[in-house]
Amino acid sequence: MSHNEHYADNKANWNDRATVHAGSAMYRLDEFIEDRSLISRTVTYDRDFMPNVEGLSVAHLQCHIGTDTISFDRLGAAKVIGLDFSDTAVAEGRRFAEAAGSSTQFVEASVYDAPAAIGSTVDFVYTSIGAISWLHDIDSWAQAVGGLLEPGGQFYIRDVHPFVWIFEEIDGKIVPHFNYWHTDDPLSWDEAETYTDDPDGVGITNTKHHEWNHSLPDIVNALVNAGLRIDRMDEHRGAPWEIFPSAVREGDLWYLPEPLRSQVPVLFSLNATKL
């Protein structure tokens, strides 16, 4: 299969998921519409790691249906633009922002085309939780991040740690199963499930999707080659969804069962500045 075919499968799958997620309890759109001071759980967590967005122009890459995106508006950003390749996610995001009284804008485009699609540089680029595994070309992604930023502008990502991607839960045991290093061939799945708390399979008819792992050096080097200085990296033990069936929930986060919890990070975050 070509990368164009992978892209088409992923887009169709994410269009289906966007509709399911917009109606899901997990994404809480009604709560955001009712309570105009509500900030998403993801952005609430990230505030301890990312810059203060007050007064900044913000681009949120792979923004999905916009709950994190409008949170930046609520935190006082001067301008917020969410970008996603799913036309359904963008339509849901626009509807949601209007209902929630937010001036957040949404752009439909591939992340690789973000600088041209957004058309102006910004002070802060953000992306998080389940973003870069959908991209086969981490170098072009980093070039897009660099192309969007003003000199001195900041970038923040929190995403799945590439090391945890090597594990699979088989017969109730989480064991090493997949390659760590990137391959041009994706891991391809055919399943009607998504990660929200709805009954599996409801509304997902485009079931094929494809993902790629990117090692930490591949991510860091791609950003350095795109003209960014790495300022900080962190590793996190908790994930904001049930990362494996036997993950243990504590509050809003899921942890690997011990001893893996003490052995393996599940997310990483990185801060960088455009030189």
Ligand X SMILES: C[S@@+](CC[C@H](N)C(=O)[O-])C[C@H]1O[C@@H](n2cnc3c(N)ncnc32)[C@H](O)[C@@H]1O
User: What span, in angstroms and rounded, lies between the C-alpha atoms of 145 and 127?
Assistant: 10
Choose the stretch contacting ligand X; rule: CB under 6 A; options: 46-54, 124-132, 146-154, 173-181: 124-132
Q: Is 76 left (phi over 0), alpha (psi -120 to 50) or beta?
A: left
Q: Could you give the angle at the alpha carbon of 224 between the alpha carbons of 62 and 61, nearest 5°?
A: 10
Pick 70 or 228: Cβ nearer ligand X: 70
Answer yes or no whether residue 135 interacts with ligand X by CB under 6 A.
yes
Pick 66 or 153: Cβ nearer ligand X: 66
What number of chain residues touch ligand X (CB under 6 A)?
18
Could you tell me the smallest distance in angstroms from the CB atom of residue 172 to ligand X? 26
228-236 and 267-274 strand pairing:
antiparallel
Choose the stretch contacting ligand X; rule: CB under 6 A; options: 78-86, 231-239, 252-260, 266-274: 78-86
Q: What is the DSSP string of 155-169?
A: EEEEEE-TTGGGEEE
Answer yes or no whether residue 209 interacts with ligand X by CB under 6 A.
no
User: What span, in angstroms and rounded, lies between the C-alpha atoms of 52 and 39?
Assistant: 14
The site map against ligand X for 31-60 (x = CB under 6 A) is ------------------------------
Look at the chain and count its residues.
Answer: 275
Choose the stretch contacting ligand X; rule: CB under 6 A; options: 47-55, 62-70, 98-106, 182-190: 62-70
Could you tell me the smallest distance in angstroms from the CB atom of residue 140 to ligand X? 10
Could you tell me the smallest distance in angstroms from the CB atom of residue 84 to ligand X? 5
Q: 254: closest CA among 193, 171, 164?
A: 164
User: What span, in angstroms and rounded, lies between the C-alpha atoms of 263 and 31?
Assistant: 36
Chain positions 82 to 111 lying near ligand X, rule: CB under 6 A, are 84-86, 89, 110-111
- The token pair at 56 is 């900044």
Could you tell me the smallest distance in angstroms from the CB atom of residue 24 to ligand X? 11
User: What span, in angstroms and rounded, lies between the C-alpha atoms of 111 and 216?
Assistant: 20
Residues near ligand X (CB under 6 A)? 10, 14, 62, 64, 67-68, 84-86, 89, 110-111, 128-131, 134-135
